[in-house]
Amino acid sequence: METWQALAPTSAPGYRARRDDVPLVGRDHELGLLRHAAGTSITHERALLVLLVGDVGMGKTRLADEVSTWAQYEHDAVLREGRCLPYGEANVWWPVADALREGLGVGEGDDEEQAASALATAVLAGLGEGSPLEFIVGESQASDFEIAKSLARLLIGQDPLALHERMDDLDRSLVGNPALKCAVDVALHDLVAKHAGLPLYALLGGGKREIHTCKTIGIDEPEIMARRAAEVKEGGFPALKVKVGVDWAEDVRRIRAIRQALGDGFPIRIDANQGWDPPEAVLAARALAPFDVEICEQPVAYWNYAGLKHVREHSPLPVMADESLFDHRDAFKLASMGACDLFNIKLAKSGGLRTAAKIDAVAQAAGIRCMVGCMAETRLGLGAAAHFVSAHPNVRFVDLDAAFFLAEDPVVGGMAYDGGRVILPDVPGHGADIDPGFLAGLESITIS
């Protein structure tokens, strides 16, 4: 049995594929499983890593059934400030590698240009991430891990560059499970972008534009939230997102204290996380209007489209749909009803970049602006979302701050932060990889 590097090769020039890092599976149509368990903290995060390894030759690109590898890991993510609703986050990482073979021919003595050229022609890898939260998408790490086994067999042997066909295959075979589909979708987009030699934003048809994210604070006592709000402003973020939705009258006191701490002009966006009923939402919106609140996100239950429409018709604040919006069909229904002013697109809800683009197309047709938000992703998943933002000018608001609340960062390369500024790399694909050292101690099992 051969051993190969578990992670997809990084896009950095001069990176060498190695054969001694992490034991993988040989050429016997086997499936390797890797698992790592860590301690428990305030919130618990788990992730799934999948590596499909195949062949490239004579211009043909395909996913071969030669080598398939899965890895599963568990790690802590600590919300270092404030309180939040109980979370059971579980991330899914899905790399799809289109070639990793013995005949790479890149040695330690080769120069960077030669190494980069060899990697560009012989080693292509796509890495994706999804974040399944049971109370939002109805998925868990455990359910996704089992279902993904069937999806792997569906993908193996198929052309990964036919991205729409591959995602159509997944949609026909599996209803729902958008976070798992997101991991596959992002990995395929990453692979196709690398094959084309383009940054992901360029593959999506856009240019590289300036991106700034807001930062979120959780529910706490008004004076504590006010202090944290001031810290967000001092940290270089252009806007503040505030969790509300427990008691609307107390929420008003919280926002009053925050506005006093921030002064006039600094944008405040509130997210009720479905916490109010329609009459409460209207009362809250009217009481909050004097504090110059920019957006009121998902004030009522996800299923209550009529209630959301009622709030929009009676609220002085712009109303944004989040949990009510998963795919382009939801977008069409919301737009047709006039139920909201804004859409919040999240890749883990939409099933990835492909459906996110469809949502944005519906939004543009209806004259609705969009936000791109996040669940509990690392900089890998957040980076894919940022590339989407860069390519879609109709996205006017950005909420990609999840990485600030993770206890550790296993991502190598990819997007970076400068305060609230999001910086995208100019390498092919989304540019992110996972630190091999982070995966080195994984418990492993092989399924033949």
**Residue 231: predicted pLDDT:** 98
Rg of the Cα trace of the chain? 22
Q: Looking at 129, 322, 399, 433, which residue is catalytic? A: 322
Side-by-side strand order, sheet with 421-423: 211-212, 421-423, 416-418
83 assigned to some structural domain: yes
Classify the C-alpha dihedral 83-302-318-423 as positive or negative. positive
pLDDT of the residue at 59: 31
CB 310 within 8 A of CB 285: no
| Domain range enclosing 356 | 211-433
d(CA 64, CA 156): 6
**pLDDT tens digits, 190-203:** 999 999 999 999 99
Q: 66 or 250: which carries more pLDDT confidence?
A: 250
Cα atoms in the Cβ-side hemisphere of radius 13 Å centred on 136: 29
Distances 55 to 52, 98, 196 between C-alpha atoms, Å:
10, 6, 17
- Of residues 355, 345, 326, 383, the one with CA closest to residue 167: 355
pLDDT at residue 35, as a whole number: 28
Residue holding tokens 């195949």? 54
Place of tokens 């390519």: 391
Give the Cα separation of 218 and 44 in Å (integer).
Answer: 17
Using 50, 70 and 90 to split pLDDT, how confident is the model at 95? Answer: low
322 in catalytic set: yes
Per-residue pLDDT at 153: 80
297 is catalytic: yes
- Counting the structural domains of the chain, the total is 2
The Cα 189–Cα 160 span in angstroms is 9
* pLDDT for the residue 3: 23
Model pLDDT, residue 436: 86
Question: Facing residues of 73 across strands?
Answer: 36, 47
Per-residue model confidence as pLDDT tens digits over 202-211: 999 999 999 9
- Top pLDDT among 48 and 275 is at 275
Q: Tell me, what CATH number does 76's domain have?
A: 3.30.390.10
Is pTM, for the whole model, over 0.85?
A: no
Residue 9 counted as domain residue:
no
Q: Of residues 194, 346, 377, 433, which has the active-site annotation?
A: 346
Tokens of 20: 């001694």
| Same domain, yes or no: 74 and 148 | yes
Q: What is the pLDDT of residue 161?
A: 94
Give the pLDDT score at 13. 27
Assess whether 234 and 378 both reside in one domain.
yes
Q: Is residue 409 part of a domain?
A: yes
**C-beta of residue 128 within 8 angstroms of C-beta of residue 433:** no
Which residue in 56, 47, 125 sits closest to 93, CA to CA?
47
Strand intervals (E) in 247-405: 268-271, 293-297, 319-321, 342-345, 369-372, 395-398
Is 271 a catalytic site residue? yes
Strands 293-297 and 268-271: parallel
Residues 52-56: what's their mean pLDDT? 34
d(CA 127, CA 428): 12
**Residue 70: pLDDT above 70?**
no
pLDDT of residue 420: 98
Predicted confidence (pLDDT) at residue 21 exceeds the cutoff of 70 = no
Q: Which amino acid is at 323?
A: E
> Are residue 129 and residue 149 in the same domain, yes or no?
yes
Q: What's residue 113's pLDDT?
A: 53
- 374 and 252 in one domain? yes
Q: Output the CA–CA distances (angstroms, integers) from residue 131 to 180, 187, 188, 336, in the order listed.
A: 8, 14, 17, 29
pLDDT surpassing 60 at residue 264:
yes
pLDDT at residue 246 above 80? yes
- Assess contact for 386 and 349: CB atoms under 8 A: no
CA pair distance 157, 56, nearest whole angstrom: 12
3-state secondary structure 241-291: EEECCCCHHHHHHHHHHHHHHHCCCCCEEEECCCCCCHHHHHHHHHHHHHH
Q: Judge if 389 and 270 occupy the same domain.
A: yes
Centre a 10 Å sphere on the Cβ of residue 197 and count the other Cβ atoms it contains: 12
Predicted confidence (pLDDT) per residue in 316-358, tens digit: 999 999 999 999 999 999 999 999 999 999 999 999 999 999 9
- The CA-to-CA distance between both ends of the chain, in Å, stands at 13
d(C-alpha 86, C-alpha 360), whole Å: 30
Decide if 58 is inside a domain.
yes
**What are phi and psi for residue 318, nearest 5 degrees?**
-60, 135
The single residue of 129, 144, 251, 271 carrying the catalytic annotation is: 271
Confidence of residue 84 (pLDDT cuts 50, 70, 90): very low
Look at the alpha carbons of 112, 16, 187, 320 in this order and tell me if their dihedral is positive or negative.
negative
Name the catalytic one among 215, 243, 309, 349. Answer: 243
Looking at the domain assignment, is residue 235 inside a domain?
A: yes
Who wins on pLDDT, 231 or 103? Answer: 231
Is 346 among the residues known to form the active site? yes
Tell me the CATH number at 357: 3.20.20.120
Q: Among residues 45, 129, 297, 399, which one is catalytic?
A: 297
Taking only the tens place, the pLDDT of each residue in 276-314 is 999 999 999 999 999 999 999 999 999 999 999 999 999
One domain for residues 181 and 262: no
Report CA 266 to chain centroid distance, whole Å: 27
Residue with tokens 């919280």: 254
11 domain residue, yes or no: no
Name residues whose C-beta falls within 8 Å of residue 42's C-beta, 6 or more positions apart in sequence.
78, 79
Q: Both 164 and 215 in a single domain?
A: no
The pLDDT tens digits for 135-161 are 999 999 789 888 888 888 888 888 999
Res. 86: pLDDT tops 70: no
**Closest C-alpha among 442, 446, 423 to residue 434:** 442
Q: Are residues 77 and 130 both part of a single domain?
A: yes
For residues 417 and 441, state if they share a domain.
no
Query: Confidence band (pLDDT; 50, 70, 90) for 111?
Result: low
Paired strand residues for 95: 127
Are 243 and 177 in a shared domain? Answer: no
Active site residue 247: no
Cβ-contact 267, 232 below 8 angstroms:
no
- Give dist(CA 385, CA 110) in Å, integer: 35
157 occurs within a structural domain: yes
Check residue 91 and give its pLDDT: 54
Q: Which of 141-145, 219-223, 235-239, 311-315 bottoms out in mean pLDDT, i.e. has the lowest?
A: 141-145
Whether pLDDT at 395 is above 90: yes
Average pLDDT over residues 240-260: 97
- Residue 22, in any domain of the structure: no
Looking at the fold, whether 185 and 233 belong to one and the same domain comes out as no
Same domain, 175 and 281: no
**In the prediction, which pLDDT does 62 show?**
36
